[in-house]
Structure 1
């Protein structure tokens, strides 16, 4: 047993590379939905990486962008959203639950990125509390939570608003008694500083993406809330270790075997995001990462099996 038992489910070992379902299994199931999480756990992938933002009535909900993505959202009549995308922080939970997030509009750039995703009807954006409740039930008892707190770029002086998500998230995880199955995770390292202050019993995972790598279509960027990596004065793994992090989650295109070895030498776990193509999954295995965050956990399973590896 380690100081943080939840880290064991993300720790690689000889013959073992951990798989982490990205937003559940976005490549084949509607992302960040209870249906997607249940599917991913059922195929034997225990760890989930997912995103939390706040509604107007201060309820943590699981969705990636700060705005509802038109390409992935239908209204109560089943029509795709058009025009300006509604901002989650301007909607109450009740208003948010009017929308259906069970499919993708295949005519859009975002929809074309995931042609194999199942199309379902009647799926709602879940509360964080919904996933925590599922994790407490027998069918969810193996679930491990890599909980990303999204930070919206704010006007100067609004840092307190960005940090308030930490307190709500920590309260809900503690109320559910799931601290030992949760890792707190963010691109915004100031959010993680607040996590260290208010939730020392939960380890922290530091996300990074070098600025030269472009963001994927339809994705809110977190580059503006991340540190200036050039100004750190040390490598990113060393900066994570100095901050007290226990896991480093780099963008897969930023991963090298030397950086992975450096991180391991500093006592960090390394989980790369989001490797989907077979050659990229293979490259992460070869680089020696502990874990691979992927939209296609089934695809990654088959690659691991072909190499005599487990997850």
Structure 2
């Protein structure tokens, strides 16, 4: 089941999949069409990106529940100061007035990615825009790891969850991209809603143990992770919940975990692995896929280990799909 959607994330003894995180955040402006296009041209197997809905229910690709001042400029080119508007309180037309093509190097967040290029006139994209881009024949081999963001601070939280899932599923279906899309979240209850509302798309369960601090400038996922430490087995809990991929924080995964997940029929795709040493450790664990801000860096490490990130049949199947 879900063979086609899972193919882009499934590794083997000679292949580990490269998943571009927010495109290639280490080099290109994150969650932008420019960044996604550049990353897909590298030959990555998949993209991982964040989706939520605007005030007028348009699914958009953005990580934080509010505009991040470290990457956001006004139409006049000024860095956005606090208070940072929440995505759920802006219409898409209002959101599109902002430029997210560069990093403010004087912020703590901006200093995390010194190699990222600086661009102008880069809007927060609609989910539909990325799907249209990914439908181009040259990108037919790329899978989509669509992370649905869940905002516990929004009014009518449960209703907002349901509306978000419905809006996302509707856009993916309209683009005829369900066969290439994985629904992915830290909010496991939201993933249950996905399984009910969009049973034609497999679910991927993110996890982060509370022992690890959030990255600077990032909305926290730990609100959804408080009970994970009490679970006897995270892979078993995911398998029982109907998941197909386990996406753990890379510091939380061991060889025994990978073996257990495999025995349960799960794929393993740790995030966000940026240091070559950590990449090497994940390679040694034999995970299926690695989510990274630096896809080219990961490609180099795979080459050093005589591994591939694509199979020949990936390209052949993509050609057949686009014909």
Shorter chain as normaliser: what TM range? over 0.9
Cα deviation code 1:12-47 (max 9, x no counterpart): 111101010000000000000001110111011130
SS at 1:221's partner residue?
Answer: coil
Residue 304 of structure 1 and its aligned partner are, at CA, apart by 0.4
Counterpart of 2:233 (choices 220, 232, 235) is 235
Give distance in 2, aligned partners of 1:164 and 1:139.
Answer: 33
Q: Partner of 2:294 in structure 1?
A: 296
Q: Partner of 2:318 in structure 1?
A: none
Give distance in 2, aligned partners of 1:70 and 1:155.
Answer: 20
Cα deviation code 1:58-89 (max 9, x no counterpart): 10000000011101001001111112111111
Q: Partner of 2:140 in structure 1?
A: 141
The answer to whether the 8 A contact 2:150-2:187 is kept is: yes
The answer to whether the 8 A contact 2:26-2:113 is kept is: yes
Residue 134 of structure 1 and its aligned partner are, at CA, apart by 1.1
When normalised by structure 2's length, the TM-score is: 0.93
Matches within 5 A, 1:103-114: 103-114=102-113
Counterpart of 2:260 (choices 262, 283, 290) is 262
Give distance in 1, aligned partners of 2:33 and 2:12.
Answer: 30
Counterpart of 1:248 (choices 238, 242, 246) is 246
Give distance in 2, aligned partners of 1:10 and 1:283.
Answer: 18
Q: Partner of 2:15 in structure 1?
A: 16
SS at 2:123's partner residue?
Answer: coil
SS at 1:272's partner residue?
Answer: coil
The answer to whether the 8 A contact 1:100-1:123 is kept is: yes
Residue 157 of structure 1 and its aligned partner are, at CA, apart by 5.9
Change (3 A) 1:247 1:128: same
Residue 227 of structure 1 and its aligned partner are, at CA, apart by 5.9
Residue 142 of structure 1 and its aligned partner are, at CA, apart by 2.4
In structure 1, stretches of 5+ residues that fail to align are none
The answer to whether the 8 A contact 2:2-2:202 is kept is: no
The answer to whether the 8 A contact 2:99-2:122 is kept is: yes
Cα deviation code 1:195-230 (max 9, x no counterpart): 111111111000000011100000001221346113
SS at 2:77's partner residue?
Answer: coil
When normalised by structure 1's length, the TM-score is: 0.97
The answer to whether the 8 A contact 2:179-2:201 is kept is: yes
**Residues matched between the structures, number:** 309
Q: Partner of 1:276 in structure 2?
A: 274
Q: Partner of 2:313 in structure 1?
A: none
1:67 aligns with 2:63: no
Matches within 5 A, 1:202-221: 202-221=201-220
Matches within 5 A, 1:101-250: 101-154=100-153, 158-226=157-225, 228-232=227-231, 234-250=232-248
The answer to whether the 8 A contact 1:151-1:225 is kept is: no
SS at 1:258's partner residue?
Answer: helix
The answer to whether the 8 A contact 2:31-2:49 is kept is: yes
In structure 2, stretches of 5+ residues that fail to align are 310-323
